[in-house]
Amino acid sequence: MQPLIINHEICNQDGICAEVCPRKLIDFSTKTPTPVAGIETQCIRCGHCMAVCPTAAISMAGIKPDDCEPIDKKLRATTAQLTHILKSRRSIRVYQDRPVERETIENILDVCRFAPTGSNAQQVDWIITDDQVKIRTLSQMTIDWMKQAIETNDSISKNVPLAGIVEGWQKGEDRLFRSAPLVLITHAPEISSMPRENCVIAMTYFDLVAFSLGIGTCWIGLFMLAVAHHPPIWQFLEIPDDHRVFGTMVAGYPKYKYQRIPARHDAKAVWL
């Protein structure tokens, strides 16, 4: 199917669509924008041509410009607002004993769909659980893997303080998922366009939108290590064989409010 339909009656022939197309799939040499041969297979359906057109002359993959949400300049965050959000979000490790409504999570995921992905592949799959029995099962499997890694003197146990987490677990303290009400995992086909980056960016969107709703999150790298090394976890999650887990987070309503922004290193940057 031809992905682009250009309405030449309203096209103002400014050529912007041709200029912004990432793959240069719109020919403007005749001053009339025309999809190039082979566009069907090469177009990544990013929608830029349609989104940028000042006269709404382009429909993409059956979606008309009027079907798309307009950009509302009034809703644009100021630099001060955005800077404050980015600096003041924290990794939350102590949660209220209160579930997060599924509808709220689904609304956040609806925003995460708009995170950039390599070649606009949009191949980020989420596994989400608020089932405390399942979260406990995942924790127990992770602890089993940690114990094995300690016993076999695995190199991971030399670099990561696994013993403290296992000891904490034995005392009833959850240093893995932090007794959070919700665990989120992203996975994607291992052989695809930038799967790790896609998952990490989508989860970073999740983190920020959740924060704006008063929901805290924390990345759980320790679980990502476990899932990569311990097949029973993989099987429990029913992740397809050709996928890999690229992100894990917990989420919930924070028990405490943070009062100030902790210091961080100066940016390490050189101009080349």
Least distance from ligand FMN to the Cβ atom of residue 49, Å? 35
The string of DSSP codes covering 152-201 is TT-HHHHHS-HHHHHHHHHTT--TTTTT-SEEEEEEEESSSSSHHHHHHH
Q: C-alpha distances in angstroms, 26 versus 21, 22, 59, 174?
A: 7, 10, 13, 55
For residue 249, the minimal CB distance to ligand FMN (Å) is 9
The answer to whether residue 196 forms part of the interface with ligand FMN (CB under 6 A) is no
Closest CA to 208 of 87, 106, 71, 120: 87
| Candidates 99-107, 110-118, 123-131, 216-224; binding stretch for ligand FMN (CB under 6 A) | 216-224
Determine if 90 is a binding residue for ligand FMN (CB under 6 A). yes
Interface with ligand FMN in residues 243-262 (CB under 6 A)? none
Task: List, in sequence order, every beta strand (DSSP E) within 37-79.
Answer: 58-60
Residue 91 within binding range of ligand FMN, rule CB under 6 A: yes
Choose the stretch contacting ligand FMN; rule: CB under 6 A; options: 103-111, 130-138, 145-153, 219-227.
Answer: 219-227
Least spacing, CB of residue 106 vs ligand FMN, in Å = 24
The answer to whether 220 contacts ligand FMN (rule: CB under 6 A) is yes
Q: CB of 104: closest distance to ligand FMN in angstroms?
A: 21
32 contacts ligand FMN (rule: CB under 6 A): no
Alpha helix positions (H), 39-78: 39-42, 48-52
Q: Tell me: does residue 226 bind ligand FMN (CB under 6 A).
A: no
Q: Which amino acid is it at 228?
A: A
Who contacts 151 (Cβ-Cβ below 8 Å, separation ≥6)? none
